[in-house]
Structure 1
Amino acid sequence: MSASPSVPAEADYVIVGGGTAGLVLAARLSEDPKTSVVVLEAGKDMTQDPRVNIPALWTSLMGSEVDWQYQTSPQAALGDRCIKEPQGKLLGGSSGINGQAFIAPSKAGIDAWSKLGATSWTWEALQPFYKKSYTLQLPDETTQEHIGLSWLDKDNHGSSGPLKVSFPAVAQDPLSKAWVETFESTGYGLTSDPFSGDSTGGYSIMASVDAETKTRSYAALGYGLPAMQRPDVHIITEALVHKILFKPTSETDDVTATGVETMIQGELHQIIAKREVILSAGALNTPKLLELSGIGNASILRQFNIPVVVDNPNVGENLQDHLMTGISFEVVEGVHTGDPLLRQEPTALQAAMQLYTEHQTGPMASGGVQSGAYMPVRGFDGPQGSQDSMATYMDRFLAQPDNRQNAIREIFAQPKAPTCSNVMFLAQANLHESGKSFVGQDLLPGNFLSLGLIQSMPFSRGHVHISSADPSDKPAIDPRYLSHPLDLDLFSRNLLDLERLHMAEPLARFLKPNGRRNHPDAFLTDLDSAKRYIRDTATTTYHSCGTAAMLPTESGGVVDERLRVYGTTNLRVCDASIFPLIPAANIMSTVYAVAERAADLIKSEAGK
């Protein structure tokens, strides 16, 4: 697989960003043989790189040459720590460097998009496009029983999509079985198939891993490779787009994009878009390119002497992300975890690679996490009065909520509504280091199991803007993590629930009583100790979104329901930046679904 060496002068569609969404668009739009497409990707083609293809090596990509290596400004609520924000800089984008978790959002969360103003974007409208993007590969019946897949409803899942999605082949792993049984024993067995859109409880997580080859399945292979075989598709890597070009117009008319200016192999090129320019550069780079092109807050643009094309102060605002923390517990003797691999012990590495190379099995064959749960906060999830008590609790922190905060409040106020996700990671996680990834580098001896906690829908909002007029400069990123007081309080209550979880059977029998933990403050006793631990350890889950929101302009919008940028006739955005509200789960599956639906919308307009 190799990108096109030639630089075409024009194409019907010029797509900026050959990542998760951009390659979906390239593949689907070019299904019409009369349609020409150019994709411009700043990163390299890494489809032959074992770090990308071997599922367990994903953490080695953080901070590498295939990561944009962005970081935030100091975060006041996190002890002024600067949080690293990995973003994929390679063909396939972040689908090529992430932990491969393929997780469903909630129906209520997607329906909130419609209630906020994107009226045609409902769960009912979007669900078919989740299914369109992937093929679910089920394990054998023994493994299905072991990891508790009785909840699975095949009608909720894809059977012919380009991506391959599977469950971890962990029949030999007692912890995955114990995870499911522990939630069942505590009254939180999975209520329904997560891809039904309405689910609470513990379960085994799907991953974008090809069950046959035990390699990462991602946008570059599933969508990019088929598209690249078509004569009118040119996918150009190592192409840094500088700006979008516009046709001169009067002040009262919407502007028309004529193409883009891009640097390829040291030469500046202009590529003409005969129909549309589509920005799919991701939640941190899409607003950057809009601003470099003159679309954004006029005061920011003038600060860097950029001519104002469309004055829209919403560009780069509404930044949302899921924070994560967790506690690592020492396991009993005889339980095998991934700690020797994290410590890069030669014997363990050799054995794992031999298993993978010869049998496509072992720890190298699985991605980041295999076990998860959608969980409500305890104390507000009882059979009676839970809705009122949760609403009353939230209202203490929500004096003047905006529309988006009200939408989250409405979701969380429902009985047993998940306010967080739990995950299990079979190794230690030293979050307090703020290193290149959550696994840390200052690793303890011994074997650990980590129970992770991820926010569901944060109330806090941040922003990302250009730091200069130079396209090669990094953007200024300020997520304003935990800036809304309800986020810290709710997150802390969820964290205290991990103390209850690790003492529940059968999970507890695998953990050493009074065993070591990964951090001196990880022995939580009350809400204050939980808050202190979060401030010291919380980090990103790499789910930035919302910075070019699909909302009415008066509500903070940058694009309309057909993903067209306000003030333009033929410039669209299609990536996680258009999410009005962050999904209550890993965002990759939703990026694929949005891109699949966007392709249908664009094709329907082109046919008129």
Structure 2
Amino acid sequence: MRVPQAKLVGGGSSINGGTALRNTKNDSREWIELGNDAWDFASVHEVYQTLESDHVRGTKGPHPIERAIPTELGGIQTAFLKGAAEIGFKEVIYFNETGTEGAGPSPVCRVGDQRVSAADTFIYPRRHWKTLSVMTGIIVDRITFSKNNRATGVILADGRKIDAAVEVIISAGAVLSPAILQRSGIGPEDLLRRHDISPVVHLPVGRNLSDHPCIPLVAKPRQGSDPKMPPQRTLSGAATGHVAGIGCNLNKPTFSGTTFIESRDPNMLPKVTLDYLGTAVDRASARECVRTGYGLIRSAAMQSVLEALFGIEDSIVGSEDELDKFCCANVTSTYHFSSSCRMASRGRGGVVDQSGRVYDTTGLRVCDASIIPTIPSSNNMWTTMMFAERIGRSVRDGQDVGHYSSKL
């Protein structure tokens, strides 16, 4: 499938919707079951709090979070909240409180109408540091190793070499970090040998790739429905008219995908395979999700601002087979890729340990969405930043995750 990637300073946080939702207790339980006892809910909750600057919640971290206020909402969004109440969803103001489920404004990384990316918070204020050098417009080919599998640096696609003083930390995302490791000889042995790459470590790099599948329900707004949006400054693609609707996302899918290199050439993108709705559990979840979304759009509040839905009607929603066909024909990606360099015990498909260190190597870590043990029940960005903050402390303090100072 085609997988757009953020190729700029700040990564996905510089182009995505900026949603700052935390992972759930159930997510943390899954992570613990995979051997990550240091990533319990209480521990990660503390990290989120130190990151967030949310005047409403009283936190004073470095990264600002705001929510849309009622006066920023357009007519369609207001109707959405009323429609959700019609079908039984409670209003939620603070989604990051434990156990919240309902409808309301998502917390986003912004100040007024200005996006705030990870680069805005963590890189640009430190550009004057003599110890910081930011190189753009480059592609990393592979990691270099000395004896005993110690990472010594990286080789760029143009042949230049950069030596590491202490560690190499790969942060190219859940699609491209596996490719760098695979070209370096870390991955499934059969894949490496197929491309004449000498194996360094046999690990399931590129497996367990996950995403949040989305089935969109789309309708045309009625004349005068006020389709304005709160200020987020996002652009999903060129459009020639207004459409509105609901994205029916599966936030806990059970399918497993892969991202594997097809060549040793660092300029060639890997092949990404994602078996959306490939399991009976996911198809059942999709049917339930779409039926809920359909009911919401058919609510009196939403019908007052939307015309007929495109491509779906009562007869489809009422038939399991027809609804499966609709879901499979319309499912798309949310681009929330994760878990392809899974943090887990070796016996549970792990690539890195709880501190992000690649197994059977020294001086090599991965720190991005690829190490999240299982995909969180929310947008990935904020969870990824939490992982980065926690592993960053570990690197700074020279201690394993779970044994470090919380002071910045």
Normalised by the length of structure 1, the TM-score is: 0.62
| CA deviation after TM superposition for structure 1 residue 219, in Å | 1.5
Write the deviation string for residues 182-210 of structure 1: whole angstroms up to 9, x where unpaired.
33343320468321232211111122222
Tell me by how many angstroms 1:248 deviates: 2.3
1:293 corresponds to which residue? 184
CA shift, 1:180, in A, is 2.8
User: Is the Cα–Cα contact under 8 Å of residues 174 and 370 in structure 2 kept in the other structure?
Assistant: yes
- Look up the match of 2:213: 323
**Among 170, 175, 181, which residue is 2:82 paired with?**
181
Does the Cα contact within 8 Å between 1:294 and 1:309 map onto a contact in 2?
yes
Q: Distance in 1 between the 2:124 and 2:85 partners?
A: 42
Question: TM-score when scaled to structure 2?
Answer: 0.91
Corresponding residue number in structure 2 for 1:547: 340
The 1-side partners of 2:310 and 2:92 are apart by: 32
- The alpha-carbon deviation at position 520 of structure 1 amounts to 6.2
Match of 2:357 in 1: 564
**How big is the alpha-carbon RMSD for the aligned residues of Structure 1 and Structure 2?**
2.4
CA gap 1:523/1:591 in 2 versus in 1, 3 angstroms: farther
Is 1:257 the counterpart of 2:151? The answer is yes
Which whole-Å deviations, capped at 9, do the CAs of 1:243-262 have from their partners, x for residues lacking one?
1110023xxxxx21111112
Asked if the contact 1:165/1:207 (under 8 Å) is kept, the reply is: yes
Q: CA deviation at 1:177?
A: 3.2
Does 2:403 correspond to 1:605?
A: no
Structure-2 separation of matches of 1:585 and 1:490? 16
Partner-residue secondary structure (3-state), 1:602: helix
**Unmatched tracts of structure 2, length 5 or more:** none
Aligned to 1:467: 262
Preserved contact between residue 180 and residue 204 of structure 1 (Cα < 8 Å): no
Q: 282-291 vs 166-175, which deviates more?
A: 166-175
1:278 match: 169
Q: Is the contact made by 2:93 and 2:105 (CA closer than 8 Å) also made in structure 1? A: no
Shift of 1:522: 8.8
Aligned mate of 1:450, from 206, 226, 245: 245
Alpha-carbon distance in 1 for matches of 2:221, 2:312 = 17
**What's 2:36 paired with?**
118
Alpha-carbon distance, 1:595 to partner: 0.4
1:486 aligned to 2:281?
Answer: yes
Aligned length: 399
1:201 aligns with 2:67: no
Following superposition, which runs of at least 4 residues in structure 1 exceed 6 angstroms of deviation? 520-523
User: Is 1:99 the counterpart of 2:17 in the alignment?
Assistant: yes
Instruction: Name the residue aligned to 1:85.
Output: 3
Quick one: which of 300, 304, 308 aligns to 1:516?
Answer: 308
- Structure 1 residues 221 and 306: CA distance shift in structure 2, 3 A: same
Match 1:585 to one of 367, 370, 378: 378
SS state of the match for residue 189, structure 1?
coil
1:471–1:330 distance in 2 versus 1, CA, 3 Å: closer
Q: Give, as a single letter, the amino acid of the residue that structure 1 aligns with 2:309.
A: R
**SS class of match (1:233):** coil
Provide the rounded CA distance (Å) in 2 between the counterparts of 1:451 and 1:440: 19
Task: Please tell me whether the aligned partners of residues 549 and 579 of structure 1 are also in contact (alpha carbons under 8 angstroms).
Answer: yes
Partner in structure 1 of residue 114 of structure 2: 215
- Partner in structure 2 of residue 576 of structure 1: 369
Identify the match of residue 224 of structure 2 among 331, 334, 338.
334
Shift of 1:170: 5.2
Aligned pair partner of 1:306 in 186, 194, 197: 197
1:322-363 deviation line (CA, Å, top 9, x unaligned): 01112123333321226xxxxxxxxxxxxxxxxxxxxxxxx5
Provide closer, same or farther for how the CA distance between residues 169 and 547 of structure 1 changes in structure 2, counting only shifts above 3 A. same
Q: Name which of 50, 53, 58 aligns with 1:132.
A: 50
Bigger-Rg structure (1/2): 1
Please say if 1:532 is aligned against 2:348: no
SS of aligned partner of 1:283 = helix
Contact 2:66 2:108 in 1 (8 A): yes
Structure 1 regions of 5+ residues with no counterpart? 1-71, 73-83, 139-153, 250-254, 339-362, 369-435
Query: Cα distance, 1:484 vs. partner?
Result: 1.4
Aligned-pair CA distance for 1:222: 1.3
Deviation string, structure 1 residues 154-192 (Cα, Å, up to 9, x no partner): 15xx4232x322223551523333333333343320468
Asked whether the 8 Å contact 1:261–1:269 carries over to 2, the reply is yes
Q: Render the CA deviation track for 1:282-301: whole Å, top value 9, x for unaligned.
A: 00111101111111111111
Whether contact under 8 Å (1:134, 1:164) holds in the other structure is yes
Equivalent pairs: percent with the same residue? Answer: 26
Alignment partners' CA distance in 2, 1:479 and 1:317: 11
Q: How far apart in 1 are the matches of 2:4 and 2:99?
A: 30
Q: Distance in 2 between matches of 1:191 and 1:519?
A: 31
- Report matched runs for 1:389-428 at 5 Å: none
Amino acid at match of 1:117: G
